[in-house]
Each structure stands twice: as structure tokens, then as C-alpha cells.
Amino acid sequence: MSKYIFTTGGVCSSLGKGIASASMGALLECRGLKVCMIKIDPYLNVDAGTMSPYQHGEVFVTDDGAETDLDLGNYERFTNSPLSAANSITTGQIYQEVIRRERAGQYLGKCVQVVPHITDEIKRRIYALGEKPDIDVTIVETGGTVGDIESIPYLEAIRQIIHERGKKNTCSVHLTLVPEVSGGEVKTKPTQHSVKAMREIGIQPDVLLCRCKEELEEGFKKKIAQFTNIDFDCVLSAHDVNTTIYEIPASYHAQGFDDVVCEKLDLKTKKADIAPWIKLADQYKKDGTKVTIGMIGKYTKLGDTYKSIDEGIVHGAIKNNVDVELVKIESDELEKGNPEEILKNLDGILIPGGFGERGIIGMTLAAKYARENKIPYFGICLGVQIMVIEYCRNVLGIADADSSEFRPEGANSVIALLEEQVDVIEYGGTMRLGGYDSHLVKGSKIHEAYGADVIRERHRHRYEVANNYKERMTEAGLILSGFSPDGQLVESAEWKDHPWGVGVQFHPEFKSTPLNPGPLFDKFVKAVGDSKNKK
């Protein structure tokens, strides 16, 4: 019978349920098991696509084009679990489907209610993935915090699954905060109350992850175990690590996390081989070339906005033994002061994706500075569009070159909408989304990075390089190095005679992992390190 692990949170949000769930998945895979990862988000949005980065951080895109919570990015970086739209469940999706069925008369005149109809739809979606024959364990993370009104239907559905499948086939993992108050005194009472709230719903946690600053002492673990009715060896310390989040699987393994879970689920597996994760953490600790990379973005004030790019840089840094200081700069700050003064100490410049006109001038100034001063440059999505606009203005001499996103009535829109997008007025799910093939030009830097003629990467954008300007760009020396299979859409561009000036229309960060860094992050960080060493 299929096995299920349910990860919930208490005391407060943003404690790291996603990393804990992903680490759990990684450890089970190290034991030879096949895992399936599911994220439940209790918000009423159908997906994360229309949410502001300031509200919810990064939007992670799966290969089938689903716009999801950033925790799915953690799942892909830590595990081999195949992810699609089905792995992301939201309240908006649940209610949308139940109401659709009610309107179609599929409930045969019944009064449609949260229990059983909403909870049944939640269970249906979980079982649809968890009951696949090639899946050993399904890990379901529920967003939010116990006690939140919007989480109640999900916790009730989880209670029902535990009852239906039995304790040998289900495991409840609860992550709570063990805070330090003034004077450094550790307090366990919030955790006690959080477990009490779970029990009032009908769920007795099997494993407790105690989020804390320093490793939890044995005396505190015993106290928590006694007052929460949880076995002592199932009370684990989820303390801060000294290096990188990729050390967390090894930290949990050292405490017997995977042993406890496998025992609870009656899983007979091989001994966990976590050598790759230990090697990764050791490699991160090594001293390397110290470089400073500036990310010139529109939403840099929120740490999670560019989560996958942040991690992609880490992946490249670990592989190349480069010690990267990633400095995030609001692009409109470059417009207010002296951009050269802000940029002069950077060894590399990266411009990520974004929407809207704000901060575009600052990004263009950064791209110009990188091109003229031979500073390694990496443009992602909007970053390649900025690269093209700057080149057209300052090399081709098209002073008013722009994007129709920023200047709809402009005479020279070198970046423009696809014809099929012109009349689209809805924003949710209407972009070019998900995995697409790109054909690479031999001899280009991107072809060298991937070592392949055809690649597949994920997209999330509306605007493209305008076809009627491509010939002029090429004649002026801009290298168009990647195209869609029909040759119509530009997928990448490069600067000639430059240590690394590469921009791509897709989002390579979504497929980069610590054990298999994205080729462009690998080569970009290497180029930054090599450039610094030459200086």
C-alpha cells in the first residue's frame, strides 16, 4: 500500500517546511525509494502566476507550464520527484472544480458542503498522485500554520487519510518554532500549544521538527516529548546550519530522521547513502576565488523573489570553487545616482526577469557598463531583452529602441508581443509558459556551455525579440545564438569579443540543482572567477 507523509507547521509561517519536506524526500531517495512531492497552498488564487513578488516571492514554473509556489523549486533541487501542475494544489483550484461539478449537476441535487465535497476533492488530488504504482512515498506539505482558518479543510482531509490508510501507512511531521526570549532563554511552550492545536483537529504528530537557532539540548527534547505525547527519538532539532541549506539532509540524517520515518511507515530499505550531500557541503566550505556578482533587479528587497537564481549561483559557485558574494541592487537606484560608482566594484552582473517599466533605465545602464567594460554579464528573460534594447540604442544607433511593454506606441519596438498575444487581456496563465526546445548555434558560448545542438528549458514571458530587427542586429555584431525550432523566436543573444556576455529568453534557474548545476550558471560563475583572477 502507498505511504504518505504529511508536513504541517505551527507557531508561525516561513519556518522552512519546504526545505524540511525536500530534505526528507532527499533522504528517502538516498535509501532507494521513489518519492512524490505535493505542495498545498491554502490561498484562493488558482495559482501563483498573478501574485506580486512582494506577496509570495518567486513563481516557480514546471515543465508543463504550471506557475507554482517556490517550494516546488526546493523539491526539484533536492529530489528527483517529477513535478507538474498536479503537484501544486490551491484552494482556488479545489473550489473551482467543486463549483464546476455542482453547476454541471454532478452532485445529483445534494447540498454541496466543505465536508465531504471539498475534503473529498482534496483527497482525490492527493491519491491521484500517491497511488501511482511507481511511487513509494508521497510527501504532502501544507502551507500556512495550524490554526489558520483557510487550512482547516486540508487538515481535516489529512485526518481522514490517516484514518483511512492507517498509522502504518501515514506519518505526520509537524514543524514548530522553539524561540529564544530575552537573555537567550529557550521556550518550549509555543511548540506544546501548536501540537495541542493539531490534536484538537484529530491529528497526533508522529515526528516533531523543532526550528531553533542552536541545536536543541536533550533536556528540552525530553520536556517537549513529555508534553506533546511524542516519542523522544522523534523530537528532532531543526537548527540553523553554518554553511548552506544543502547541509540540512545530512543534519537530519545524523539525528536519525529517515530511520524514524521508515520505522513509522514500516519501510524496509537499504541504508541511506548520503555521501553526495556530505561532499557538496564540504565543497561549499572550501576557500575559493572571492568574487562579487551584482544582481540588478526590480524586486530585490524581498529575499525570496529570485530564489531559484540565488540557488543557481550557489550551484555554479560550488562546482567552480568560487566564493560568491551576491549583491542585490534595485535597478531604479542606478537611475538616481552615479551608476558607475555603484557598479565599479562588481566582478559580474546579472539581470533577472521582471515585468513593467519601473527600473528599466537602470538595467539598461548596467548592461551598457558590462558590455563596455568587459564585465561578465548574464541576462535572464527580461535580462536578454535589456541586452538587445541597449545594443540597439548604443551600437545600432536606434536612439528610441524599446519594448512595446514599456512604450506601446514607440516607433522602434525591438522587443514586442507575439501576434497571438496582442489581444490577450487576462494575465493568469496566458504567457509562453513551460518547457520549449531551443536550437543553438555552433561556436557560440551557449552551445559550448550545454554541449548540445538542441536543449529544453522553461519559459515565462510574453515579449520576444522583434523579427524585423534581427538582420540589423546581426549585421551590427550582436550574436543571435539560439532560436525556437521554427527559427522564428530568438532564444539567446551574445556579445562578440566579450569574456561572457550571454542573455537567454528562458529561465535556466528552474532546472539547476546542487548536484547538477545549470550549464549557464556553471559557465557564468566560472567566467566571473576567471576574469577576477586575470585582473
Query: Is 90 exceeded by the pLDDT of residue 465?
Result: yes
> Which of 381, 390, 447, 498 is the catalytic position?
381
Helices (H) and strands (E) in the chain, counts: 19, 21
Catalytic-residue membership of 67: no
Topology of domain 3-280, per CATH? Answer: Rossmann fold (3.40.50)
User: What is the average pLDDT across 217-244?
Assistant: 93
**Rounded-to-integer distance, Cα 252 and Cα 262, Å:** 13
CA angle (26 as vertex; 22, 29 as ends), nearest 5: 135
How confident is the model at residue 242, as a pLDDT? Answer: 82
**Rounded-to-integer distance, Cα 369 and Cα 77, Å:** 33
**Residue range 288-534, CATH number:** 3.40.50.880
Between the CA of residue 67 and those of 90, 304, 308, 522, what are the distances in Å?
11, 15, 14, 25
How confident is the model at residue 430, as a pLDDT? Answer: 63
> Are both 3-280 and 288-534 of the same fold?
yes
Q: What is the pLDDT of residues 138-153, one digit of tens each?
A: 999 999 999 999 999 9
Q: What is the pTM of this model?
A: 0.93
Copy the grid coordinates of residue 192. 506544546
Query: Is 90 exceeded by the pLDDT of residue 53?
Result: no
With cut-offs at 50, 70 and 90, classify the pLDDT of residue 301. Answer: confident
| DSSP-derived pairing of the beta strands 490-494 and 402-403 | unpaired
Query: Is 80 exceeded by the pLDDT of residue 423?
Result: no
Domain ranges (residues) in the chain: 3-280, 288-534
Q: What is the pLDDT of residues 352-409, one digit of tens each?
A: 998 888 889 999 999 999 999 999 999 999 999 999 999 999 999 999 999 999 998 8
Catalytic-residue membership of 464: no
327 CB-near residues (< 8 Å, 6+ apart): 292, 293, 294, 295, 346
Judge contact between 274 and 22, C-beta under 8 A.
no
The partner residues of 209 in beta bridges, in order of sequence, read 175, 236
Catalytic-residue membership of 381: yes
Query: Is 60 exceeded by the pLDDT of residue 425?
Result: no
Q: Which helix (H) or strand (E) holds 329?
A: strand 322-330
Q: What is the pLDDT of residues 332-350, one digit of tens each?
A: 889 887 889 999 999 999 9
**Cis preceding-peptide flag for 116 (omega within 30 of 0):** yes
The partner residues of 456 in beta bridges, in order of sequence, read 437
